[in-house]
Structure 1
Amino acid sequence: MINAVKDAFINKANWLCFISGFSLVLAYAPFSLWWLALCLPLGLVHCLYRAKSNKEAFKYGFIFAFGWFASGISWVHVSIDQFGGLPLAISLLLMLLLCLYLALFPALACYLTQRFSNSNNKLWLLPSFWLLSEYLRSVVLTGFPWLSLGYSQIDSPLAHFAPVIGEVGITAIILLINISLYLIISANRVKIEANVASNIIPSTLVLMTIGIATFVFAKTTWVTATGEKLKTALIQGNIEQSMKWQPENEWPTMLKYLDLTRVNYDADLIIWPESAIPALEPTVQDYLSTVNSSAILNNSTIITGIINYNFETKEYFNALITLGNTSSNNEQGYYYNHNNRYYKNHLLPIGEFVPFQAWLRPLAPFFNLPMSSFSRGDYVQANLQANGLAILPLICFEIAFPHQLAANLTDNTDILLTVSNDAWFGDSHGPHQHLDIARMRALEFGRPLLRSTNTGITAVVDHFGQVTGIIPQFEQAVLKAQLDIVTGKTPYSQWPQLILSLMILMPLMIIKGISARQLN
């Protein structure tokens, strides 16, 4: 056993995989060295090509992915350490277990690649199996699709593929680029292996095809501006997480948001962040009625996060509600339990619900965080109606699930909205990654997006995925901007499931067909 551990630590291939994966965090925000994603996976590709067995391929994929997640989602530790009430050793152990779990999915992709490849098609099956494993990562145990490779390319030329094949398609392209580069580089060595040399032409064709498609998609317009503009104001209250749910801070917080709003009623749409109102909806009806009347008087609409509690069913909901004008010109505007609201569907484990809570809650404060017993809203809900516009809302973590967004997108959807409270993650790279995920959704679905957060990063994103206005972290401010309303649909917004299925299945069928002909 000791010798096996020692061998693992001195194995150069293991270190190559780990360092390649660990360094990959630099390709994502806030570093945004996107070009690293086009070369760092070469370490994994090299080891996978040299793998002698399914077990060895699994090992290389696991080590690469463990380094990738250990650096890439280290921000999760901030919430555990600062708000979980756990000893440092235990919080680090939980992070270790999370990274080990997530590493299983890329390891599975590498295992399947080795298992179903032969000397002629080795590596080319990796993109398909990688996308399959990424899909599994997004659904198993409610899913955690964070840090997918494609998100690193939101500011690269490959971003032009997003409206056509989505972020998942960009992930496949990144792998294809790394595989092609590896095979071309390997073929130029002094000693050329026959099976590597035979891949020079297809590798070159792959790179040329990607380059041509990038140029074509960069010149293609999928949606067009209608000429209509919307005045928006996004309020960032900058309430410290440790103070947010203190009873004595309830009214000061609510008055702060009201004061910041009063001087911005020239905006058609005003957004407050997730749970901006730190009180249960039924208990602050007088306050909500006042805000509602003020918004109506100024011909504006306010959308705010709040916690609703149903006294009959004894259920909590993480909610968004509208105050003021709606498309129906209803002078009453808001009233308790009106239908113009949204309940979060995709709840965050531990933070919003606790699996096996009868066992876990007594163990530590980490399993008893404030508001960690929510019920789920419906997967498909009506768009919010605000000042004549249809707004598709998602709360916090939900923006990482494009299929949920697609299920709620309608022909009339004008704007995407995501609200969050990233104060849980402090001054880490988590909020920056979160913003890039939201930007990718705007680009994929061809709709402008508003992102309102408690402590930052609040931003306005156009339908090209570009940030047109931003409030940095840990500042109290109001972001005012004008949005262009657009019309039209991107290919990805219409068929996301079909596109994913085809990208997984078609390469497998083509490569297997070619292999069968070669055997004959």
Structure 2
Amino acid sequence: MTSLVTGNRRWLLAFAALLFGAAYPLAYAPFNHAVVALLAITGLFSILRMSQSWRQAMTIGFAFGLGQFTVGISWVHVSIDSFGGLPLAVSLLLMALLCAYLALFTAFSCWLWYRLTRETATAFNALLFPSLWIVGEVLRGELLTGFPWLALGYSQTSSWLFEWAPFIGVLGIGWLVACLAVLISYALVKRHLLWVLPSLLVIVAGSLWANLQTVPHATGKFAHVALVQGDIPQSMKWEPEQQWPTMSKYQDMTRPYYDYDLLIWPEAAVPAIELSAQSFLQNIDATLAWKGSALVTGIIDYQPYSQLFFNNLIVLGRRQPELEKSSYYYGNSNRYSKHHLLPIGEFVPFGDILRPLAPLFNLPMSSFSRGAYIQDNLEANGWRLAPAICYEILFAEQVRQNVQEQTDFILTVSNDAWFGDSIGPHQHLQIAQMRAKELARPVLRATNNGITAIIDADGSVQTQALQFTEAVLTAEVGQYRGQTLFARTGHAPILMLAGLVCLAAMWRRYRRPHE
């Protein structure tokens, strides 16, 4: 009877963790209930404290992660189901395997917490659990090219903790949320109030201080920008007969704005290989140079000698406003090649084995080569832009290292048509807001079918276009100068703190057998 009760209790705890994990994505866009993330992590930690073995702790962590990712990245299945060419049962199986893989990192953090916590003082858990949570997120963001989606810090773009972004970045905010969750969990037990309440007050006071800081300073200079959203259906984008109509559409939509400082087209807006589109590109280049403007567009470059494909951004028109002649020619250095490629979508691991199995592994343009990790900013009509193509905007350190002191704007272009009317594009925009706040630079976000947006240096959305519409988004975007603490140090301070806390916990855990 005792074993039966114990078994039921174990499964009830795992089920409760699954429910907390499933609720967790409500903290993210488009729902933006930031407090849900705090409550979900509080629930997870409270359940973990009831675990009686490392296996149980790991099961609880896995259940939470499974709920978290099954709901939170459901948009991935839209792409697999619509464009993968697989039976529904197979696509659901692939989705389940992906969610289970991602849940392993949460399980690892919870397993390690249980292993290290026996010899740990209760108050030390306010440092240990957040640090182990961050370890799991870092591993998830790095292994197998990384998938840092739904990092805990992103859940707070609509909360007062967002003000910490210029100082400690998304990982640091995630650490604070986990710390608050531990404190709230312990606050439910009266004997812990003597140390919990002062700790909570320190975090609140620090957040109030962060809110009062003016990190960037405006120069008073503005760029008149126009971002073009063509709304090309994904099913038509790479059809040969649609190549010229698509290019003509973007050109026609842009023509009334040729006198603007900056024009932006989304990822692969020109659905042709750069070499084969030279007449089209040179015509726009010459016109923009004459009009005194510049256009940044996504395009695919195939280099025939090396036989390599690159997902690129190029600049047409004026490189500097005082140079009246055009600056574009094929192969020039004022371009950006995507570094962080999307698995399956842009490169296929073990391609010789997987490509024959299903259309999912043989999508158009899925054989790209990567550009350098750090590249020069794009120069367009005198403005300097730090680019990130689609998926790259997730990688805070990569974006940070490409934003220089003289960078004017962060530019991110994407094609979220793969994900239909799902929560994915909203979460993608939310991630871009974090980059703006961390680095105190406006973000120009141009997409094929939404959500095209202009984000101010404080992380707030200045203006955005409706999804699934043809639109040209215009605004005057201010120039900012000054570097945030995060721009200078990145996540190094919070990673050092997490590392020292973990080392201290290991020393406390394993010192007794050696005494």
Give the TM bin, normalised by the shorter chain.
over 0.9
Return the alpha-carbon distance in structure 2 between the equivalents of residues 179 and 151 of structure 1: 19
Given that 2:269 and 2:448 are in contact with CA atoms closer than 8 Å, whether structure 1 keeps it comes out as yes
Aligned residue for 1:258? 251
Partner of 1:120: 121
1:129 to 126, 129, 132: 132
Matches for 1:401-412 after TM superposition, within 5 Å: 401-412=395-406
- What is the Cα deviation at residue 9 of structure 1? 9.8
- Counterpart in the other structure of 2:25: 25
Correspondence for 2:185: 182
Separation in structure 2 between the aligned mates of residue 421 and residue 88 of structure 1, nearest angstrom: 24
> Does 1:451 pair with 2:452?
no
Q: Does 1:151 align with 2:144?
A: no
Counterpart selection for 2:282 from 289, 302, 308 = 289
Distance in 1 between residues matched to 2:197 and 2:158, nearest whole Å: 24
Counterpart of 2:11 in structure 1 is 11
Q: Distance in 1 between matches of 2:137 and 2:346?
A: 23
1:307 — aligned with what? 300
Contact 1:352 1:371 in 2 (8 A): yes
2:80 is equivalent to residue 63 of structure 1: no
Pairing of 1:66-465 with structure 2 (within 5 A)? 66-118=66-118, 120-121=121-122, 123-124=125-126, 125-185=128-188, 187-188=189-190, 197=191, 199-327=192-320, 329=323, 331-465=325-459
Residues 194-249 of structure 1 deviation map (CA, whole Å, 9 limit, x = unaligned): xxx2x433321221111001110100011100010110000000000001111111
- Judged with a 3 Å threshold, the aligned counterparts in structure 2 of structure 1 residues 452 and 8 are, in CA distance, closer, same or farther, namely farther
Q: Give the distance between the partners of 1:8 and 1:75, measured in 2 at CA.
A: 33
Structure 2 CA distance, aligned partners of 1:202 and 1:279?
Answer: 63
For 2:473 and 2:496, locate their aligned partners in 1 and report how far apart those are by CA, in whole Å: 41
Any unmatched runs of 5+ in structure 2?
none
With over 3 angstroms needed to count, the CA separation of the structure-2 counterparts of 1:509 and 1:461, relative to structure 1, is same
Residue 513 (structure 1) shift: 8.6
Q: Distance in 2 between matches of 1:15 and 1:294?
A: 62
* SS of equivalent to 2:343: coil
SS in 2 for 1:50: coil
Which SS does the other structure have where 1:274 is aligned?
A: coil
1:321 CA displacement: 0.2
Q: Partner of 2:40: helix, strand, or coil? A: coil
CA distance in 2, matches of 1:390, 1:137: 32
Whichever residue aligns with residue 321 of structure 1, its letter is I
Structure 2 match to 1:40: 40
Deviation at 1:508, TM superposition (A): 3.8
Q: For the Cα contact (< 8 Å) 1:169–1:503, is it kept in 2?
A: no
Cα distance per residue 1:455-504 (max 9 Å; x no partner) = 00000000000001100210101000011100101001111142232231
**Any conservation in 1 of the 2:109–2:133 contact (CA below 8 Å)?**
yes
Distance 1:120 1:411 in 2: 44
Stretch moving more, 207-216 or 509-518: 509-518
The whole-number CA distance in structure 2 between the counterparts of 1:15 and 1:428 is 26
* Counterpart contact for 1:266–1:300, Cα < 8 Å: yes
Using the alignment, how far apart are the partners of 2:333 and 2:511 within structure 1? 59
Counterpart secondary structure, 1:331: coil
Partners of 2:433 and 2:459 within 8 A in 1: yes
The structure-2 alpha-carbon separation of the partners of 1:330 and 1:67, relative to structure 1 and needing over 3 Å to count, comes to same
Matched to 2:142, the amino acid is: V
Amino acid at match of 2:337: Y
Cα deviations by residue, 1:229-282 (Å, 9 ceiling, x for unpaired):
110000000000001111111001001111111101231000000000000000
Q: Could you list the per-position Cα deviations for residues 73-132 of structure 1 after superposition, in whole angstroms to 9, with x for gaps in the alignment?
A: 000000000000000000000000000000011111111111111352374311111111
Q: Deviations over 1:38-64 (max 9, x none)?
A: 212222111111112222111111110
Q: Secondary structure at the match of 2:478?
A: strand
| Pairing of 1:458-477 with structure 2 (within 5 A) | 458-477=452-471
1:77–1:92 contact (8 Å) kept in structure 2: yes
| TM norm structure 1 | 0.94
CA contact (8 A) 1:420 1:453 kept: yes
280 and 9 in structure 1: CA distance in 2 versus 1, 3 angstrom threshold: farther
Structure 2 CA distance for aligned equivalents of residues 293 and 478 of structure 1: 22
Distance 1:58 1:431, change over 3 A: same
Report deviation, 1:512.
Answer: 7.4
CA contact (8 A) 2:297 2:314 kept: yes
Q: Distance in 2 between matches of 1:59 and 1:517?
A: 27
Residue 128 to residue 495, structure 1, CA distance change in 2 (3 Å): same
For 2:408, what is the secondary structure of its paired residue? Answer: strand
Give 3-state SS (helix, strand or coil) of 1:480's partner. strand
- Residue in structure 2 matched with residue 191 of structure 1 by the alignment: none
Task: Report how many residues are paired.
Answer: 507
The share of aligned pairs that are identical, in percent, is 46
The CA distance in 1 between the partners of 2:478 and 2:284, in whole Å, is 27
Tell me if structure 2 keeps the 8 A contact 1:384–1:392.
yes
TM-score by length of 2: 0.95
Q: Please, which runs of 5 or more residues in structure 1 have no aligned partner?
A: 189-196
1:131 is aligned with what amino acid?
Answer: I
- Aligned pair in 2 of structure 1 residues 330, 500: CA closer, same or farther (>3 Å)? farther
Per-residue deviation at 1:65?
0.7
> What amino acid maps onto 1:428 in structure 2?
S
